[in-house]
Protein backbone atom coordinates (compact mmCIF):
# COMPACT_ATOMS: atom_id res chain seq x y z
CA UNK A 1 0.00 0.00 0.00
CA UNK A 2 2.81 2.36 0.94
CA UNK A 3 4.50 1.65 -2.36
CA UNK A 4 1.43 2.60 -4.36
CA UNK A 5 0.79 5.84 -2.46
CA UNK A 6 3.47 7.93 -4.20
CA UNK A 7 2.35 6.69 -7.60
CA UNK A 8 -1.26 7.56 -6.80
CA UNK A 9 -0.11 10.93 -5.56
CA UNK A 10 1.83 11.52 -8.76
CA UNK A 11 -1.20 10.64 -10.90
CA UNK A 12 -3.45 12.93 -8.87
CA UNK A 13 -0.86 15.68 -9.11
CA UNK A 14 -0.67 15.28 -12.89
CA UNK A 15 -4.48 15.38 -13.18
CA UNK A 16 -4.70 18.48 -10.99
CA UNK A 17 -1.96 20.20 -13.00
CA UNK A 18 -3.71 19.25 -16.23
CA UNK A 19 -7.00 20.78 -15.02
CA UNK A 20 -5.18 23.84 -13.79
CA UNK A 21 -3.30 24.44 -17.04
CA UNK A 22 -6.49 23.93 -19.08
CA UNK A 23 -8.22 26.50 -16.89
CA UNK A 24 -5.27 28.90 -17.04
CA UNK A 25 -4.98 28.61 -20.82
CA UNK A 26 -8.70 29.29 -21.19
CA UNK A 27 -8.43 32.35 -18.96
CA UNK A 28 -5.37 33.67 -20.77
CA UNK A 29 -7.17 33.28 -24.10
CA UNK A 30 -10.30 35.00 -22.73
CA UNK A 31 -8.31 38.00 -21.55
CA UNK A 32 -6.13 38.37 -24.59
CA UNK A 33 -8.52 37.77 -27.44
CA UNK A 34 -11.23 39.41 -29.49
CA UNK A 35 -13.51 38.00 -32.14
CA UNK A 36 -12.17 38.31 -35.66
CA UNK A 37 -14.33 40.72 -37.63
CA UNK A 38 -12.78 41.22 -41.05
CA UNK A 39 -15.08 41.92 -44.01
CA UNK A 40 -12.50 40.54 -46.45
CA UNK A 41 -12.28 37.24 -44.62
CA UNK A 42 -16.00 36.89 -43.97
CA UNK A 43 -16.69 35.69 -47.50
CA UNK A 44 -14.05 32.96 -47.30
CA UNK A 45 -15.22 31.89 -43.84
CA UNK A 46 -18.79 31.71 -45.13
CA UNK A 47 -17.62 29.33 -47.85
CA UNK A 48 -15.97 27.12 -45.24
CA UNK A 49 -19.10 27.24 -43.06
CA UNK A 50 -21.27 26.26 -46.02
CA UNK A 51 -18.98 23.33 -46.83
CA UNK A 52 -19.29 22.19 -43.21
CA UNK A 53 -23.03 22.82 -43.17
CA UNK A 54 -22.82 25.09 -40.11
CA UNK A 55 -24.29 28.63 -39.76
CA UNK A 56 -20.89 30.28 -39.33
CA UNK A 57 -17.30 29.78 -38.25
CA UNK A 58 -16.21 31.88 -35.31
CA UNK A 59 -12.54 32.83 -35.20
CA UNK A 60 -10.72 34.79 -32.50
CA UNK A 61 -7.63 36.96 -32.60
CA UNK A 62 -5.12 36.08 -29.90
CA UNK A 63 -3.15 39.21 -29.05
CA UNK A 64 0.40 37.90 -29.37
CA UNK A 65 3.04 38.47 -32.04
CA UNK A 66 4.37 35.02 -32.99
CA UNK A 67 2.77 33.73 -36.19
CA UNK A 68 0.52 30.94 -35.00
CA UNK A 69 -2.90 29.39 -35.14
CA UNK A 70 -4.36 27.31 -32.35
CA UNK A 71 -7.38 25.34 -31.30
CA UNK A 72 -8.31 25.68 -27.62
CA UNK A 73 -9.49 22.62 -25.66
CA UNK A 74 -12.99 24.15 -25.61
CA UNK A 75 -13.04 24.13 -29.42
CA UNK A 76 -12.43 27.81 -30.07
CA UNK A 77 -10.18 28.70 -32.99
CA UNK A 78 -7.50 31.37 -32.64
CA UNK A 79 -5.26 33.20 -35.07
CA UNK A 80 -2.52 35.30 -33.50
CA UNK A 81 -2.35 39.06 -34.04
CA UNK A 82 1.02 38.47 -35.72
CA UNK A 83 -0.52 36.13 -38.27
CA UNK A 84 -3.44 38.44 -38.93
CA UNK A 85 -0.98 41.31 -39.47
CA UNK A 86 0.72 39.28 -42.20
CA UNK A 87 -2.64 39.00 -43.90
CA UNK A 88 -3.29 42.75 -43.54
CA UNK A 89 0.18 43.48 -44.94
CA UNK A 90 -0.59 41.35 -47.95
CA UNK A 91 2.16 38.86 -47.10
CA UNK A 92 -0.44 36.12 -46.61
CA UNK A 93 -3.65 35.85 -48.67
CA UNK A 94 -7.14 35.37 -47.24
CA UNK A 95 -7.21 31.86 -48.70
CA UNK A 96 -3.91 31.04 -47.02
CA UNK A 97 -5.20 32.30 -43.68
CA UNK A 98 -8.35 30.23 -44.27
CA UNK A 99 -6.14 27.16 -44.74
CA UNK A 100 -4.77 27.68 -41.21
CA UNK A 101 -8.30 28.08 -39.84
CA UNK A 102 -9.30 24.87 -41.66
CA UNK A 103 -6.28 23.11 -40.16
CA UNK A 104 -7.25 24.22 -36.64
CA UNK A 105 -10.88 23.20 -37.29
CA UNK A 106 -9.43 19.79 -38.13
CA UNK A 107 -7.75 19.58 -34.73
CA UNK A 108 -11.10 20.34 -33.07
CA UNK A 109 -13.17 18.02 -35.27
CA UNK A 110 -10.73 15.13 -34.83
CA UNK A 111 -10.57 15.62 -31.05
CA UNK A 112 -6.92 16.64 -30.99
CA UNK A 113 -7.30 19.87 -29.08
CA UNK A 114 -7.98 18.25 -25.72
CA UNK A 115 -5.13 15.86 -26.19
CA UNK A 116 -2.92 18.71 -27.34
CA UNK A 117 -3.32 20.40 -23.97
CA UNK A 118 -0.82 17.85 -22.72
CA UNK A 119 1.45 19.21 -25.40
CA UNK A 120 0.53 22.80 -24.84
CA UNK A 121 1.06 23.33 -21.12
CA UNK A 122 0.36 20.16 -19.20
CA UNK A 123 3.37 18.31 -20.54
CA UNK A 124 5.58 19.34 -17.64
CA UNK A 125 3.09 17.91 -15.16
CA UNK A 126 3.13 14.52 -16.86
CA UNK A 127 6.90 14.70 -17.02
CA UNK A 128 7.15 15.51 -13.30
CA UNK A 129 4.77 12.72 -12.34
CA UNK A 130 6.60 10.19 -14.49
CA UNK A 131 9.96 11.34 -13.16
CA UNK A 132 8.69 10.92 -9.62
CA UNK A 133 7.52 7.36 -10.25
CA UNK A 134 10.51 6.28 -12.33
CA UNK A 135 12.91 8.10 -10.02
CA UNK A 136 11.85 5.77 -7.22
CA UNK A 137 12.32 2.66 -9.31
CA UNK A 138 15.59 3.69 -10.97
CA UNK A 139 17.22 6.49 -8.96
CA UNK A 140 19.20 8.93 -11.10
CA UNK A 141 18.26 7.52 -14.47
CA UNK A 142 14.52 7.70 -13.81
CA UNK A 143 14.25 11.44 -14.42
CA UNK A 144 16.22 11.16 -17.63
CA UNK A 145 14.01 8.33 -18.91
CA UNK A 146 10.87 10.28 -17.94
CA UNK A 147 12.07 13.26 -19.98
CA UNK A 148 12.90 11.14 -23.00
CA UNK A 149 9.62 9.20 -22.88
CA UNK A 150 7.49 12.35 -22.51
CA UNK A 151 9.21 14.16 -25.39
CA UNK A 152 8.99 11.15 -27.65
CA UNK A 153 5.33 10.59 -26.86
CA UNK A 154 4.43 14.25 -27.39
CA UNK A 155 6.35 14.38 -30.68
CA UNK A 156 4.66 11.24 -32.00
CA UNK A 157 1.23 12.43 -30.96
CA UNK A 158 1.62 15.87 -32.46
CA UNK A 159 3.21 14.57 -35.67
CA UNK A 160 0.31 12.31 -36.60
CA UNK A 161 -2.16 14.98 -35.43
CA UNK A 162 -0.60 17.50 -37.81
CA UNK A 163 -0.87 15.25 -40.85
CA UNK A 164 -4.47 14.38 -39.94
CA UNK A 165 -5.40 18.05 -39.49
CA UNK A 166 -3.73 18.87 -42.83
CA UNK A 167 -5.76 16.16 -44.56
CA UNK A 168 -8.96 17.42 -42.94
CA UNK A 169 -8.16 20.97 -44.06
CA UNK A 170 -7.39 19.77 -47.59
CA UNK A 171 -10.76 18.02 -47.82
CA UNK A 172 -12.62 21.02 -46.38
CA UNK A 173 -10.85 23.54 -48.64
CA UNK A 174 -11.51 21.36 -51.69
CA UNK A 175 -15.20 21.06 -50.79
CA UNK A 176 -15.39 24.83 -50.27
CA UNK A 177 -13.98 25.36 -53.77
CA UNK A 178 -10.79 26.98 -52.46
CA UNK A 179 -8.54 24.01 -53.15
CA UNK A 180 -5.30 22.78 -51.65
CA UNK A 181 -3.01 25.32 -53.36
CA UNK A 182 -3.19 27.98 -50.59
CA UNK A 183 -2.24 25.36 -48.02
CA UNK A 184 0.89 24.49 -49.97
CA UNK A 185 1.83 28.07 -50.80
CA UNK A 186 1.52 29.10 -47.16
CA UNK A 187 3.91 26.33 -46.10
CA UNK A 188 6.47 27.58 -48.60
CA UNK A 189 5.95 31.21 -47.55
CA UNK A 190 6.44 30.49 -43.88
CA UNK A 191 9.48 28.41 -44.69
CA UNK A 192 10.97 31.28 -46.73
CA UNK A 193 10.21 33.65 -43.88
CA UNK A 194 12.17 31.37 -41.58
CA UNK A 195 15.15 31.40 -43.90
CA UNK A 196 15.08 35.18 -44.31
CA UNK A 197 15.12 35.89 -40.61
CA UNK A 198 17.18 33.25 -38.91
CA UNK A 199 16.21 32.80 -35.31
CA UNK A 200 12.70 34.07 -35.90
CA UNK A 201 11.09 30.72 -36.63
CA UNK A 202 7.30 31.04 -36.68
CA UNK A 203 5.90 29.09 -33.75
CA UNK A 204 3.40 27.43 -36.04
CA UNK A 205 6.15 25.83 -38.12
CA UNK A 206 8.27 24.92 -35.15
CA UNK A 207 5.58 22.75 -33.60
CA UNK A 208 4.83 21.04 -36.89
CA UNK A 209 6.49 18.40 -39.07
CA UNK A 210 8.83 19.31 -41.92
CA UNK A 211 7.32 21.50 -44.64
CA UNK A 212 8.36 19.23 -47.54
CA UNK A 213 6.77 16.23 -45.83
CA UNK A 214 3.51 18.11 -45.34
CA UNK A 215 3.43 19.29 -48.94
CA UNK A 216 4.22 15.76 -50.16
CA UNK A 217 1.37 14.36 -48.04
CA UNK A 218 -1.03 16.93 -49.53
CA UNK A 219 0.09 16.09 -53.05
CA UNK A 220 -0.48 12.39 -52.39
CA UNK A 221 -4.03 13.27 -51.30
CA UNK A 222 -4.61 15.39 -54.40
CA UNK A 223 -3.45 12.57 -56.66
CA UNK A 224 -5.71 10.10 -54.87
CA UNK A 225 -8.71 12.40 -55.16
CA UNK A 226 -7.98 13.08 -58.82
CA UNK A 227 -7.95 9.37 -59.66
CA UNK A 228 -11.08 8.54 -57.66
CA UNK A 229 -12.92 11.47 -59.22
CA UNK A 230 -11.83 10.59 -62.76
Q: Which residues bind Zn ion (CB under 5 A)?
A: 162, 165
The nearer residue to Zn ion, 77 or 131, going by C-beta atoms, is 77
Cβ 176 vs Cβ 134: under 8 Å: no
The HSE-up count of residue 48 (CA atoms within 13 Å, CB side) is 27
Q: How far is the CB of 210 from Zn ion (least distance, A)?
A: 14
The nearer residue to Zn ion, 105 or 146, going by C-beta atoms, is 105
Q: How far is the CB of 155 from Zn ion (least distance, A)?
A: 13
d(CA 66, CA 84) in angstroms, rounded, equals 10
Q: How far is the CB of 202 from Zn ion (least distance, A)?
A: 12
d(CA 104, CA 78) in angstroms, rounded, equals 8
Q: How far is the CB of 112 from Zn ion (least distance, A)?
A: 8
d(CA 178, CA 183) in angstroms, rounded, equals 10
The nearer residue to Zn ion, 33 or 158, going by C-beta atoms, is 158
Cβ 189 vs Cβ 92: under 8 Å: yes
Q: How far is the CB of 162 from Zn ion (least distance, A)?
A: 5
Query: Count of H helices and E strands in the chain?
Result: 10, 4
d(CA 99, CA 151) in angstroms, rounded, equals 28
The nearer residue to Zn ion, 119 or 162, going by C-beta atoms, is 162
Q: How far is the CB of 215 from Zn ion (least distance, A)?
A: 15
Convert 206-227 to b/e letters by CB count within 10 Å (16 or more is b). Answer: ebbbebeebbebbeebbeeeee
The nearer residue to Zn ion, 160 or 188, going by C-beta atoms, is 160
d(CA 130, CA 11) in angstroms, rounded, equals 9
The nearer residue to Zn ion, 10 or 77, going by C-beta atoms, is 77
Amino acid sequence: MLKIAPILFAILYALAMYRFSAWRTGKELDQKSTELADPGLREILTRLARALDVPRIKVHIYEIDPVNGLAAPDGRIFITRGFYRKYRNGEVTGEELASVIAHELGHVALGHSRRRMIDFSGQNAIRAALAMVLGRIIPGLGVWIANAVTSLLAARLSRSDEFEADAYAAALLTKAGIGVAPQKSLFSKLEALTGARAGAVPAWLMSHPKTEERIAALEALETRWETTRG
